[in-house]
Amino acid sequence: MTVVTVTDRELQPKDYASDQEVRWCPGCGDYAILKAVQKALADIGAPRERTVFVSGIGCAARFPYYISTYGFHTIHGRAPTIATGIKLANPELDVWVVTGDGDALSIGGNHLLHVLRRNVDLQLVLFNNEIYGLTKGQYSPTSRRGTRSPSTPLGSVENPVSACQVALGAGARFVARSVDTSMAHLVGVLERAHAHRGASFVEVFQNCVVFNDGVFDNFTAKEIAPEAQLPVEHGKPLLFGKSRDKGLRLVPGKLELEVVPATAPDILVHDERNRALAQLLTGLEPPAFPVALGVLYCDPAPAFEAEVHAQARAAGLGTDPASLDGLLRSGQTWTVA
């Protein structure tokens, strides 16, 4: 293994590339996400020795092999558990979890729920391509009804799960969304996720060119994207459209959003600390509504491992090396001469 030591200059995106050949399908959205992550790491100035990428199983899970930091490619769905152990053992490490829709929302659904609920300080990036790629194209928990796949030749009859709504329901304090091909937007979202203390959940819509090509075209295709995407920003009005001519507001007397001309009164202003608004935004679907992208929710709370360590310190951890002999002699003892 070659060791590249960079001491006298700032790290560039390419410095975060490992020496391993990237083996995703040509045209896979994962390439773009890899580039965005490497750019974000360079922008952040992430020290490689203190950064750890943890993944489960699936196409996305190959990610750690291509990053020049520490990396742990674990087993299907369980990356959050190993990431939790890492953070408990060494809270100083900067941990990223890379996962997919099958990995995080099917086999690993339980762990996703709990890592978010506990608020472990890590970034969890979910590559959502609405399909099982590595196992050759079965429908996934985010696949839409009617998805035809080798295991659903007549079309899936299951309702898909919304990744961001699951995250909000689990109590995530940071929920964001972006698109693989929107490089600048994705880098910005990743950097916000990194800056957030606690569990940061990022869903990236990622195109699988082989098994589900174009599944997000209804809001990512270049010509319609401005009309079909709502990039949100804290403190800014919820406007979209090529000439930002449309906006969102509450239907009077109802907890529902409606699309109105940008000139209409009562256009909502994005408040990323407002969980109820985030829930409404994550539920918006084309064609009636644009897809909300960006930091949908961010309301920091103490991180799990920080609280665990604080409690342990209060209980005597690290103050004075406790005496094992004292522990063994606690309670009733007697001496035989």
Q: How far is the CB of 291 from other proteins (least distance, A)?
A: 31
Candidates 60-68, 204-212, 255-263, 282-290; binding stretch for other proteins (CB under 8 A): 60-68
Handedness of CA 106, 36, 202, 144 (dihedral sign): negative
Q: How far is the CB of 49 from other proteins (least distance, A)?
A: 4
Helix (H, G, I), strand (E, B) or coil at 271: coil
Q: What's the rounded Cα separation, in Å, for the pair 326 and 50? A: 37
Q: Are 112 and 105 contacting, i.e. CB atoms less than 8 angstroms apart?
A: yes
> Is position 10 an interface residue for other proteins (rule: CB under 8 A)?
no
Q: How far is the CB of 13 from other proteins (least distance, A)?
A: 16
Pairing mode of beta strands 131-132, 138-139 = antiparallel
> Is position 1 an interface residue for other proteins (rule: CB under 8 A)?
yes
C-beta of 3 vs 157, nearer to other proteins: 3
Pairing mode of beta strands 70-73, 138-139 = unpaired
C-beta of 264 vs 322, nearer to other proteins: 322
> Is position 92 an interface residue for other proteins (rule: CB under 8 A)?
yes
C-beta of 90 vs 218, nearer to other proteins: 90
Q: Are 121 and 306 contacting, i.e. CB atoms less than 8 angstroms apart?
A: yes
Under 8 Å CB-to-CB from 18, ≥6 apart: which residues?
A: 65, 66, 67, 68, 71
Q: Are 218 and 200 contacting, i.e. CB atoms less than 8 angstroms apart?
A: no
C-beta of 288 vs 315, nearer to other proteins: 315
C-beta of 122 vs 248, nearer to other proteins: 122
Stretch 15-54 residues interacting with other proteins (CB under 8 A): 18, 20, 48-50, 52, 54
Stretch 308-327 residues interacting with other proteins (CB under 8 A): 308-309, 311-312, 315-319, 322-325, 327
> From residue 244, how far is each of 62, 238, 263, 277, 286 by CA, in Å?
39, 9, 10, 20, 17
Stretch 220-259 residues interacting with other proteins (CB under 8 A): none
Beta bridge partners of 54: 72, 97
Under 8 Å CB-to-CB from 8, ≥6 apart: which residues?
A: none
Q: Are 70 and 53 contacting, i.e. CB atoms less than 8 angstroms apart?
A: yes
Of the residues 31, 35, 42, 70, which one makes contact with other proteins according to CB under 8 A:
70
Q: What's the rounded Cα separation, in Å, for the pair 172 and 232? A: 18
Q: Are 191 and 42 contacting, i.e. CB atoms less than 8 angstroms apart?
A: no
C-beta of 276 vs 317, nearer to other proteins: 317
Count the neighbouring beta carbons within 10 Å of the beta carbon of residue 119. Answer: 23
C-beta of 177 vs 194, nearer to other proteins: 194
Under 8 Å CB-to-CB from 310, ≥6 apart: which residues?
A: none
Of the residues 72, 158, 234, 284, which one makes contact with other proteins according to CB under 8 A:
72
C-beta of 41 vs 225, nearer to other proteins: 41
Of the residues 12, 14, 27, 85, which one makes contact with other proteins according to CB under 8 A:
85
C-beta of 90 vs 151, nearer to other proteins: 90
Candidates 24-32, 241-249, 253-261, 307-315; binding stretch for other proteins (CB under 8 A): 307-315
List residues binding other proteins (CB under 8 A): 1, 3, 5, 18, 20, 48-50, 52, 54, 64-65, 68-75, 78, 80-90, 92-93, 110-111, 113-114, 308-309, 311-312, 315-319, 322-325, 327-329, 331-337
